[in-house]
Structure 1
């Protein structure tokens, strides 16, 4: 059944989303949740030590489960973590190993206290007992804590609105700089969207211009922190390094250093909130305008690796590479693609990931590739004497992404839609190679 036929028949789809809300905790409730967060982290570390020290022939899920039950009976502070939350720690740990074995992630490691975000799972949605109190406040039941108020910013299926297809399936308590939050897992039943009739476009991500579209437009943003905020952050970071220099390894963190770390985390959290706000608004606008979007399939993890090298073979331009890595991480390209992917799916659109090699060095107009095509980070000038196309380098990359998207998109999805490339490129790049041009150091698309 095609998407058109399913849309006509009104096929229902189950969609799961997360909704994050701020908790309003009393001092006693805060103390209890903090204990649960530390117990969950310690449970992970104990499981990791047990797993790595146990011979491979004796490792099993049943043994790990039995050890958890025994530890909660014998260790008082581990009993602060509810039984279901402890079982969820085990499930998460085993899932981490499955992801490692299947090549999707690195092996799970020890969770340090000050580098790990505290989290507590409430796997059963029926235990939450969610109730709306006022226009701005709701109430939820947290195991071993009691009834806790949370900020009501979005309607969720509770009470008479909840059924087997529209309900909250569970939640997770998470902690960040602003305090403890609860993240609800909301499952709803929606009709399959009709095919998006919007045009197709290619998007190139960058540092100087965050998003360059093949229709010739850009999606830019201001700095995440104002100049004054950046200066305050820089001074705080210098203060932190000075305070850390007086701290011996193994000593307890001083109150002054803890205060400095808290203020630094506040500025970074503010920058992240502004980043998320811009990304959500921008990707929503793009998903509503375009039906097919092509992006590069980038391995961002490899792109932001350090250039320090080793003692025998030290790296070059280490400081410059570190600055580029910070800029790439600050733009959060992977999150933008993730937001585009699910927002397009909700609107009947499609996201196509194309290979990244040569998209920045290939001329979209003639298809030739040379090492000197990109004169700078922002300017592209084709060195082919018969072409000599020049323009913004990111825009040229988005043109190449659009060409590759058109070739990879199935014909039944393309349908009758417009593409932006026709108004920019004089002729579409050829897909055949020319031995004569290759001998000169040129390659066609």
Structure 2
């Protein structure tokens, strides 16, 4: 079977190469924003969506125009790929997978991609890579990139440049190991498995919150765009980078351990965006307990539940396993012993005590067991061709409240 995998390295560019990369990222951002503005103007005039081929002709006109002749200084393939990114954003919007495309801002996700592997030379033995109009760049060769090179993405993060090399290679069909397990996600406990295994949260943002607040306050006191302000902004960016790196490292280690020891993993289909919505309300109808809800939102977003699920999905596929998402309704209110559903059984955040049969257990473990059972029931119905079953302990017409 074929495996697509990306290997990310930190670049060590010269001063001139850094300036060139900033120009290339700015040119790609300009093309994306101008194409998006053209699409919106065309739509407001009653026209239809402009396809990639027609938009690529517009790019040629922009490169030949006297006003935007500077676009010729950037490699053409990354500019064309910016139009591909816009086309993908529109496709996700039309298929209701994402919001309407938004304009890109300078300093946010600055990157550009070389999609043609024929233009790239990768010299792993000497720790360098050749990119069009940039020449040879040194990089920190932290690990070996396996497989045939497909494309290269250059990105700026925390004031440092990185190169992500996507490869394709043939691997043996993996033999899955382990059994099935259900996972209950939480804040006090990051992940609780149905077999009783508990993964404590790292709370990366919370650990650095005081330092980040202090750095942001210092930046707010500086004259905007002054040298001191840029230094203070760089300090804030470094803290955000440290927070993100610590979170991703923990999620990778946890998802790798679970995917290597289980063939079937059932998780709650949590809608993180809805769970972390602000409770501020409007001027006419102000919200209640806004401060407490904002703290809960920060704690939810600090866990990285969606990224954890994304990593589990592809890592299980690499190891021959499968990830199945089940509705989270009443998973922590259903007794795994007698099946009775009651909110009163969840007397505290930590403890579950069934009001019907007296069964007691940790609430997170109960939730993980119910996730496992709901997952098995769903798979059984899908194999038999029946209608997808409801969540654990729910019936038709019951309220769809989260467990």
TM-score, reference length from structure 2: 0.89
Q: Which has the larger radius of gyration?
A: 1
**What is the CA distance between 1:369 and its match in structure 2?**
1.8
2:103 matched to 1:110?
yes
* 2:72 counterpart SS class: coil
Selected match of 1:373 from 345, 355, 368: 345
Selected match of 2:211 from 223, 232, 237: 232
| Structure-2 separation of matches of 1:237 and 1:376 | 37
Closer/same/farther in 2, CA of residues 311 and 287 from structure 1, 3 Å limit: same
Deviations 1:283-327 (A, max 9, x none): 111112222111011111111111111111111111111111111
Specify the alignment match of 1:185 in structure 2: 166
**What is the CA distance between 1:388 and its match in structure 2?**
2.0
Specify the alignment match of 1:348 in structure 2: 320
Unaligned runs of 5+ in 1: 1-12, 158-165, 414-428
| Structure-1 separation of matches of 2:85 and 2:206 | 39
Pick which of 207-216 and 345-354 moved more: 345-354
Specify the alignment match of 1:69 in structure 2: 60
Specify the alignment match of 2:114 in structure 1: 122
2:59 matched to 1:94?
no
* 1:403 counterpart SS class: helix
Aligned positions of 1:184-223 closer than 5 A: 184-194=165-175, 196-223=176-203
| Structure-2 separation of matches of 1:78 and 1:232 | 41
- Please tell me whether the aligned partners of residues 366 and 430 of structure 1 are also in contact (alpha carbons under 8 angstroms): no
| Structure-2 separation of matches of 1:282 and 1:59 | 43
**What is the CA distance between 1:410 and its match in structure 2?**
4.6
**What is the CA distance between 1:258 and its match in structure 2?**
2.4
**What is the CA distance between 1:225 and its match in structure 2?**
6.5
Closer/same/farther in 2, CA of residues 308 and 242 from structure 1, 3 Å limit: farther
| Structure-2 separation of matches of 1:284 and 1:432 | 33
- Please tell me whether the aligned partners of residues 306 and 322 of structure 1 are also in contact (alpha carbons under 8 angstroms): yes
| Structure-2 separation of matches of 1:176 and 1:26 | 17
Specify the alignment match of 1:40 in structure 2: 28
| Structure-2 separation of matches of 1:63 and 1:287 | 44
Closer/same/farther in 2, CA of residues 222 and 302 from structure 1, 3 Å limit: closer
Unaligned runs of 5+ in 2: 384-390
2:260 matched to 1:288?
yes
Specify the alignment match of 1:8 in structure 2: none
Selected match of 2:136 from 125, 142, 147: 147
**What is the CA distance between 1:359 and its match in structure 2?**
1.1
2:123 matched to 1:131?
yes
Number of aligned residue pairs: 386
| Structure-2 separation of matches of 1:331 and 1:222 | 8
Closer/same/farther in 2, CA of residues 354 and 28 from structure 1, 3 Å limit: same
Specify the alignment match of 1:418 in structure 2: none
2:151 matched to 1:170?
yes
Deviations 1:306-358 (A, max 9, x none): 11111111111111111111111111011111111111112222211111111
| Structure-1 separation of matches of 2:266 and 2:36 | 41
Selected match of 1:398 from 342, 352, 368: 368
**What is the CA distance between 1:238 and its match in structure 2?**
2.5
